Amino acid sequence: MEHYLATSARAQDIFNQVLSALSRHNIPPTPINYMVWYEYYLNENKALIEELDKTLADGGKWHDILGFRLYHSLIKQQCTDIHEFEEDLTNAHGNLNTALQGLGENINTHTLMIVQGATPEKLTALQESNSRLALYHKNTQTLIQTISQKAEKTITFNFRDPITKLYNKKKLIQEVDKLKHLENLPPFVMIDMDNFLGIQRDYGTLVAENIVRFIARSITKIAGKQHSYRTGDNEFIIFTAQNEQQLFDIAEQVRQSVAHAQLKRKDTGLTIGNFSITGVLFYLEKNDLNSSLDHARTQLRIFKSREQRNKIHEL
């Protein structure tokens, strides 16, 4: 976190940029908003820069819920992760230094003992000590190399859907829990693939799974990877912390993208038709995400039973 110890000249320059942005976008000068925009102008947090640029480019307006979410998901969590990584790496680095220091001392002792005519027994004992330190050194190097890999696998396993690489329901629950203390949470959109069982029956599971991946890519491209979740076999959630009209427009763009797609089978080259998505825009009921999701699913089934597929509905 050395960038927070920047020189006073650079810090002043960033601060002036932040003040200008707050004024230009009519943003309340809250501590979280200051932090988000300070991080933005540091120009190092690429995920945060991407989210802010996309929001402002799409004509979106800043609001405190957006700032709160950006702070917790892309700044605070990142700081926590970095701190934990630094602790692990510091411990591993300390072990490595200990091994190297001990190995160096033993080499010096070994040289001295040879010069002084040490007995074979002492030289053998020293060699065994050197071997133990060398193994300790090797194991510590392996630990350093695998720390980040293990952490990445853990994060992926816990919060990513293995098929689409979107966030999963567990991640959605975590995000909503961070915002539950706020009043009037922004809306969600649930998207469900139409005729999923028919696609599986006519084309097979692999083709159906590839269509699910295609829908996931369409959602990510339009809504952004930070706002896209897979919560069921052919069910997705979009949660952007934007207002109703903005979220509806995003969902409609996704719907049109899927509806106009012409996907072809690699083995036969034939176009796969008869697939689309239906969505519902809904709000969190009584701060209970699970019951709200169940209600949205029920409404989706009702809309589909009334032949109102390939549309985005509002509850």
Note the pLDDT tens digit of each residue in 141-159.
Answer: 677 666 666 666 666 667 8
Q: Is the pLDDT of residue 5 over 50?
A: no
Q: Is the pLDDT of residue 91 over 70?
A: no
Please give the Cα distance from 311 to 154 (Å, whole number).
37
Amino acid at 219: I
pLDDT at 254: 96
| Cβ atoms within 10 Å, residue 233 | 14
Please give the Cα distance from 104 to 245 (Å, whole number).
68
Average pLDDT value over all residues in the chain: 79
Q: Where are the beta strands (DSSP E) in 143-187?
A: none
Please give the Cα distance from 155 to 180 (Å, whole number).
23
Contacts of 70 (CB under 8 A, 6+ apart): 36, 48, 51, 52
Instruction: List, in sequence order, every residue forming a beta bridge with 19; answer none if it has no partner.
Output: none
Closest CA to 22 of 35, 10, 9, 12: 35
Q: Is the pLDDT of residue 2 over 50?
A: no
What is the pLDDT confidence band of residue 198, given thresholds at 50, 70 and 90? confident
pLDDT at 23: 86
Among 33-37, 89-93, 188-192, 309-313, where is mean pLDDT lowest? Answer: 89-93
Residue position matching structure tokens 């988000």:
36
Closest CA to 164 of 234, 250, 261: 234
| Cβ atoms within 10 Å, residue 278 | 20
What is the pLDDT confidence band of residue 299, given thresholds at 50, 70 and 90? very high
pLDDT at 195: 86
Are 34 and 70 contacting, i.e. CB atoms less than 8 angstroms apart? Answer: no
| Cβ atoms within 10 Å, residue 19 | 13
How much of the chain exceeds pLDDT 70, in percent? 72
Are 277 and 254 contacting, i.e. CB atoms less than 8 angstroms apart? Answer: yes
Tell me how far apart the terminal alpha carbons of the chain are, to the nearest angstrom.
45
**Residue, of 274 and 156, whose pLDDT is higher:** 274
Please give the Cα distance from 105 to 108 (Å, whole number).
5
Summarize the confidence of residues 25-45 as an average pLDDT: 82
Q: Is the pLDDT of residue 216 over 90?
A: yes
pLDDT at 138: 72
Instruction: List, in sequence order, every residue forming a beta bridge with 160; answer none if it has no partner.
Output: 167
Q: How many residues does the chain have?
A: 315
Report residue 184 as tokens. 């009037």
pLDDT at 4: 46
Helix, coil or strand: residue 213: helix
